[in-house]
Amino acid sequence: MDNNHKSTMKSISKLISQSSQSFFSAFLDDSKDKQSKNKEREEILKKLQVASAQKSLVVLQLKEVPTSQKFETVSGWIVSKSIGDSIMLRLQADSQQIRMITVEHIKKVSTLSKNDKRLIK
């Protein structure tokens, strides 16, 4: 019975060791995810700031929309000069309507400046 007890202790210590390793690995992966999300957010903020300064038409692909679609596309011009956690967008479809969009919901940014040769309606 002494060997059985040692075997049980070894299996328990092995289980604890593996659990600790997997927990630590998950912790490191989370910090990598946070770094990549922060990098993506910074890139989006830079694009929005440039678009605001150039008064460019902005097309935003928004994520996590509660409708049946996977994403929503919104186009317009950025109203505010400084970009923070959210932006104010004057919609292209209805220039009288302004929509507030949080930066964390933006998946992709495309811009079209006034100097571009393509037609902006």
Summarize pLDDT for 95-105 with one digit per residue, the tens: 888 888 888 88
Rg for the chain, CA atoms, rounded: 25
19-112 under CATH 2.30.30.520, yes or no:
yes
Domain ranges of the chain: 19-112
Q: How far apart are CA 54 and CA 68, in angstroms?
A: 34
Confidence check: pLDDT of 58 > 80: yes
What is the reported pLDDT for 121? 42
Compare 120 and 116 and report the one with higher pLDDT. Answer: 116
**CB–CB of 60/74 below 8 Å?**
yes
HSE-CB for 70 with a 13 A CA cutoff: 1
Summarize pLDDT for 26-54 with one digit per residue, the tens: 666 666 677 788 888 888 888 888 888 88
Q: How far apart are CA 101 and CA 75, in angstroms?
A: 12
Output the pTM of the full model. Answer: 0.56
Confidence check: pLDDT of 64 > 80: no
